[in-house]
């Protein structure tokens, strides 16, 4: 990634040409994104924008996520980034540090966006992009399985101890049917051990980006939470989770609990067990914490039509566009857009909206995020499987990540 950063920097060239301002804005711009399921809503957003700005034409550029950032990197190297495009905060630092992103215009009203979502798109104290849609974590649970196991449904204030007790009770009671207390894919820290590390009062990488926190008392506590679930049979083993996806365990009625993001709501609502499904907040550790990740719309610093790009960015941030987006995903703008989104489902989606209030960032925006996460993921299986004691493995991971952070 460091080499890519250098290439991106060398590709930065000057030369923007404005095509008007205000009601006279005109020209053609490109909008790049990766999720085909959102295309129908995006087409409606574009139609509404072009009705408001009839002299502007927006061309859509859909690229699957698997190749999206490779393409974006190539475009950055050649100085040809789309005028407006999707970005996640893990990749923000690389593009912002190389001068490829335009700072967010101060004229865009961000007062109805959560501060955690907005802050996650800051780099070196400056804001790049506007949150578009987001996802937070909850615990999806199967009411029928809990009833069969004699376990009460979660409460709003349940704790780690409650969760671990209930998950084990289900496994103990129903293991003859192949039902686990919980099944959650542990290959993604953002949905599992990152939030428990935060709930233990710790951090994954310190706010100054210089120190990993896996081997702190809080870090080890957050990791031990998941190790214990596997060790006592509450969860499938890592190999079993590799063989069968966590969502398949849950929707086939083979697990009672599943830590999953809000975006699973459509899958849950269309599953054969939809009437048995409910969702609860994450259980609390030492403190309450969650991770609500937002994706953002970015404007290229090298757009050849910055006036039109700026107008489109502002339109996408407004209530009309965000309400259109609510038909396919959780819009980042509070108020009417999020009300429309919540009403689409038979579940208590307020659980996710409330999670915004306790959302924290487990690590700052860094240009080395992909590198240190790769090092973490190479060593994490030995910790979670019990091959290496938690404290020993946590020290090994910390040492590897610290070396990368120091470069």
For residue 137, give the nearest of 385, 403, 362, 388 by alpha carbon: 362
Q: Are 123 and 93 in contact (CB under 8 A)?
A: yes
Average pLDDT on 276-290 reads 97
Residue with tokens 């994104």: 33
pLDDT at 24 over 90: no
- How would DSSP label each residue in 175-240? GGGT-EEE---TT-GGGTHHHHHHHTT--SB-TTSS-B-TTSHHHHHHHHHHHHHHHTTSS--HHH
> Could you read off the pLDDT of 102-159 as tens digits, one per residue?
999 999 999 999 999 999 999 999 999 999 999 999 999 999 999 999 999 999 999 9
pLDDT at 23: 61
Both tokens of 301, joined, read 């610093």
Both tokens of 114, joined, read 């959560």
Residue with tokens 């000057």: 14
pLDDT at 18: 42
d(CA 135, CA 262): 5
d(CA 286, CA 205): 19
> Could you read off the pLDDT of 197-235 as tens digits, one per residue?
999 999 999 999 999 999 999 999 999 999 999 999 999
pLDDT at 14: 33
For residue 341, give the nearest of 351, 329, 332 by alpha carbon: 329
d(CA 55, CA 311): 12
pLDDT at 10: 35
Q: Mean pLDDT across the chain, nearest whole number?
A: 93
Q: Are 353 and 339 in contact (CB under 8 A)?
A: no
Q: In degrees, to the nearest 5, what angle opens at C-alpha 284 toward C-alphas 145 and 241?
A: 50
Rounded to whole angstroms, what are the CA distances from 274 to 149, 252, 253, 265, 326? 19, 11, 11, 10, 21
Top-confidence residue, 8 or 34: 34
Which residues fall within 8 angstroms of residue 294, CB to CB, at 6 or more apart? 89, 114, 117, 120, 121, 131, 132, 133, 134, 332
Residue 208: CB atoms within 10 Å:
8
Average pLDDT on 370-384 reads 96
Residue spans of alpha helices (H) in 287-358: 306-316, 319-325, 336-342, 350-355
Residue 239: CB atoms within 10 Å:
10
d(CA 205, CA 339): 35
pLDDT at 15: 35
> Could you read off the pLDDT of 230-273 as tens digits, one per residue?
999 999 999 999 999 999 999 999 999 999 999 999 999 999 99
For residue 163, give the nearest of 234, 82, 85 by alpha carbon: 234
d(CA 89, CA 66): 17
Nearest-10 crossing angle of helices 2-10, 89-97: 50
> Could you read off the pLDDT of 189-201 as tens digits, one per residue?
999 999 999 999 9
> Could you read off the pLDDT of 57-101 as tens digits, one per residue?
999 999 999 999 999 999 999 999 999 999 999 999 999 999 999
Residue 41's SS3 state is: helix
- How would DSSP label each residue in 238-270? HHHHHHS-HHHHHHTT-EEEEEEEGGGHHHHHH
Q: Are 76 and 63 in contact (CB under 8 A)?
A: no
For residue 316, give the nearest of 291, 345, 295 by alpha carbon: 295
pLDDT at 2 over 60: no
């Amino acid at each position: 990634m460091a080499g890519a950063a250098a290439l991106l920097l060398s590709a930065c060239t000057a030369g923007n040409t404005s095509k008007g301002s205000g009601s006279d804005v005109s020209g053609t711009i490109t909008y790049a994104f990766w999720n085909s399921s959102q295309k129908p809503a995006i087409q409606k957003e574009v139609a509404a924008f072009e009705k408001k700005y009839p002299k502007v034409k927006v061309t859509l550029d859909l690229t699957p996520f698997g190749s999206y950032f490779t393409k974006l990197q190539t475009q950055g190297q050649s100085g040809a980034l789309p005028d407006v495009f999707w970005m996640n905060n893990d990749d923000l630092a690389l593009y912002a540090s190389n001068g490829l992103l335009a700072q967010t215009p101060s004229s865009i009203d961000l007062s109805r966006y959560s501060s955690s979502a907005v802050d996650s798109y800051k780099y070196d104290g400056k804001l790049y992009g506007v949150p578009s849609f987001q996802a937070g974590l909850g615990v999806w649970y199967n009411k029928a399985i809990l009833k069969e196991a004699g376990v009460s449904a979660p409460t709003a204030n349940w704790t780690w101890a409650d969760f671990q007790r209930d998950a084990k009770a289900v496994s103990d009671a129903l293991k003859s049917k192949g039902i686990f207390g919980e099944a959650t894919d542990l290959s993604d820290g953002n949905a599992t051990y990152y939030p428990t590390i935060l709930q233990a009062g710790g951090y994954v990488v310190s706010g100054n980006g210089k120190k990993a926190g896996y081997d702190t008392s809080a870090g080890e506590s957050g990791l031990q939470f998941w190790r214990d679930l596997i060790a006592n049979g509450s969860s499938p083993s890592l190999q079993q989770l590799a063989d069968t996806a966590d969502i398949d365990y849950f929707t086939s009625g083979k697990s009672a609990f599943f830590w999953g993001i809000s975006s699973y709501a459509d899958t849950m609502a269309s599953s054969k067990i939809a009437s048995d499904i409910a969702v609860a907040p994450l259980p609390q550790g030492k403190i309450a914490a969650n991770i609500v990740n937002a994706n953002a719309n970015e404007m290229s610093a090298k757009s050849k039509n910055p006036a039109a790009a700026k107008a489109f960015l502002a339109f996408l941030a407004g209530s009309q566009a965000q309400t259109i987006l609510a038909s396919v995903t959780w819009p980042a703008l509070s108020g009417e857009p999020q009300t429309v989104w919540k009403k689409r489902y038979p579940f208590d989606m307020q659980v996710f909206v409330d999670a915004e209030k306790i959302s924290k960032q487990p690590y700052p925006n860094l240009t080395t995020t992909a590198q240190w996460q790769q090092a973490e993921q190479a060593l994490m299986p030995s910790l979670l499987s019990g091959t290496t004691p938690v404290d020993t493995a946590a020290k090994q991971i910390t040492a590897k990540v610290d070396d990368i952070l120091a470069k």
